[in-house]
Structure 1
Amino acid sequence: MHFETSVDIDASPENVWTILKDVERWPEMTASINRVELLDKPVALSSRARVFQPKLPAAIWTITAFAENKTFTWESRSPGVITTAAHEIVTNPDGTVSVHLTLDQKGPLAPIMSLLAGRLVRRYVTMEANGLKSKAETL
């Protein structure tokens, strides 16, 4: 499964990045996440977090790519499925930003997972993008 969404945010890249990398506070901006426990601080390459979401089992996510103020990608592994989620901030000429979120699932059980939870996962990624926009634009 591959899913991506983008949202334009009327806020500075620095403000958006501050919110984006504060993963423990994500539940404040979206109902798609109940709780995030940062297992390794600070948020950086190789940091891990345990993410609790409604209707999904808790998952440990490990940051596999990280560029301060620009992007981070993290990965979660479960039997038969590797899920990779990327978060990228692109600065627009007017100083606002576009945030691109992508989610990929690969592995022998990925097609089954897509059938069982694909719609929910796509809804959650969209909720996270909209929640980020709302929070960043009200700061």
Structure 2
Amino acid sequence: MTTDIDAPVDLLWRLTTEIDKWPAFLPTVQRVDRLDPGELRVGSTARLKQPAQASAIWTVTHLDPMREFTWETSRPGLRLTGRHLLETTGTGTRMTLALDVTGRLAGVLSALLGGPMQSSLRRESEGFAAAIR
């Protein structure tokens, strides 16, 4: 899901990486509990509760300041990788949110929940855009 947002990349980077504040403006996140102190970095972990899902522990696997934040979680038969990509444009920032699903149950999950997962990414993009207004 890619969205152009009329805001500087540093503002969106702050919103993206201050994950403990997400429940205040993202309808796709009910609760975030950071499991380690300090700024978000590779290896940082958080327990994330989303609507209609069990809580999951996500671990940051890649962080390129002002550009990309990637994290992963596992469930039986699945690995989910969430990517938050930011790119400066002439009028603001292009935000791309992606959720990759791998593992032996990935095909089943994608077939059953592909539409709702895309809808969730769209709602999340809208939440980030609304938070800067």
Does TM-score exceed 0.5, indicating one fold? yes
Aligned to 1:57, what secondary structure does the other structure show? Answer: coil
TM-aligned CA deviation for residue 112 of structure 1: 1.9
TM-aligned CA deviation for residue 116 of structure 1: 3.4
Aligned to 1:87, what secondary structure does the other structure show? Answer: strand
Paired with 1:89 and 1:6, the residues of 2 have a C-alpha distance of 10
1:116 aligns with 2:112: yes
Give TM-score scaled by structure 1 length: 0.90
Give TM-score scaled by structure 2 length: 0.93
- String of CA shifts for 1:20-47, please: whole Å, max 9, x gaps: 1011111111211100111123211110
Aligned to 2:51, what secondary structure does the other structure show? Answer: coil
Could you tell me which runs of 5 or more consecutive residues in structure 1 were left unpaired when the two chains were aligned: none
CA RMSD of aligned residues (A): 1.1
* Structure-2 residue corresponding to 1:37: 33
Select which of 15, 19, 32 maps to 1:19. 15
Paired with 1:45 and 1:98, the residues of 2 have a C-alpha distance of 23
* Structure-2 residue corresponding to 1:83: 80
Paired with 1:116 and 1:27, the residues of 2 have a C-alpha distance of 26
Paired with 2:19 and 2:113, the residues of 1 have a C-alpha distance of 22
Paired with 1:117 and 1:60, the residues of 2 have a C-alpha distance of 20
1:62 aligns with 2:59: yes
- Structure with greater contact order relative to length (CA < 8 Å, sep ≥ 6): 1
Aligned to 1:45, what secondary structure does the other structure show? Answer: coil
Aligned to 1:89, what secondary structure does the other structure show? Answer: strand
* Structure-1 residue corresponding to 2:124: 128
